[in-house]
Amino acid sequence: MRYRDVNFDRRVVTVWQGKGRSDRQVMLPRSFEPLLRRQSGAFAPDDFLFPGVQRGRHLSPRTVERVVERAVIVAGLNKRITPHSLRHAFATHLLENGTDIRFIQKYLGHVRLETTTIYTRVAVLRENRVESPLDALTGNRPSASRAEAALRPVGTMRLSVALRQGEPGRPSVADASIIVNSQTQPIELSGIVLSESRPGWVSLELPPTEQWEDRLCWLTPNQQERIASPEFYQHLQRHLGERFLSLRPDG
């Protein structure tokens, strides 16, 4: 995969000679776009997206396997996970989120639909995720604030956002941190980067978990559990995003 294979306007990535030796296009996640845009400014279109140590070479499959093996150890997962597991997880989550199975077939590059249907055996299709079309039309859906209200408070924190010096024609970028009030002293979790990938859309980039490891140990078990929960990051996305947009020169 080279930088020329990433199309930001159409939000797709072209995969050449992938599954079944076929070419196809897959979606470009919005969360990856700010990072890829910054990197693309320092590389030529023909440069590899995942370069090797030697110039002009890409990462070998074995190197990628080692990266995944390390990530599995850091995450404390007690199951066999390979790079191919990410492909399975991608398909399973799409199916659980209600994506039409024929779109999944296209993204995976399967020739036969029967090959894609094997993911229905492991996907958890919850009935409570099915919404009435009337609710979608009237906007009567559960909001993020309701989910946050159901969480029991485990402490207090404050957020810090500082805009970086902008460059003409480039999206706004800011550095953010979380200051958690622990039992001993305030604990700062820094290294969060905010960027506006498109007007009104704020992307949240978090540092590797190990960067916070020596500070998280000073928090209570309940606080550590909260920081690891999906609801916490939804909370961060909303509040940091609102503060970031208000600090922009045109905010």
Structural domain including 213 reads 147-247
CA pair distance 209, 228, nearest whole angstrom: 10
Position 99 scores a pLDDT of 78
Number of structural domains in the chain: 2
Domain check: are 154 and 231 in the same one?
Answer: yes
99 lies in a domain? Answer: yes
Pick from 70, 97, 127: which residue ends a domain?
Answer: 127
Summary count for the chain: helices (H), strands (E)? 10, 7
pLDDT cut 70: percent of the chain above it = 79
In a domain, 16, yes or no: yes
- 41 and 100 together in one domain: yes
In a domain, 65, yes or no: yes
- 46-105: pLDDT as tens digits: 999 888 888 888 989 898 998 898 888 888 888 889 998 888 888 888 887 777 778 888
pTM, two decimal places: 0.47
Query: Which pLDDT value is given to residue 36?
Result: 86
The single-letter code of the amino acid at 47 is D
User: Is 70 exceeded by the pLDDT of residue 169?
Assistant: no
Which two tokens mark 39? 């990197």
Residue 54 belongs to a domain? yes
Helix ranges (H only) for the chain are: 33-40, 61-75, 83-96, 101-108, 113-116, 133-138, 144-149, 213-216, 221-227, 230-247
CATH number at residue 121: 1.10.443.10
pLDDT, mean over the chain: 79
How far apart (Å, rounded) are the C-alpha atoms in residues 64 and 160?
35
- Residues 117, 23 within the same domain: yes
Query: Does residue 13 share a domain with residue 65?
Result: yes
Let me know if residue 139 belongs to a domain. no
pLDDT at 126 over 70: no
Exposure on the CB side of residue 85, measured as CA atoms within 13 A: 11
Verify that 106 and 156 share a domain, yes or no.
no
- Exposure of 251 in the CB half-sphere (CA atoms within 13 A): 15
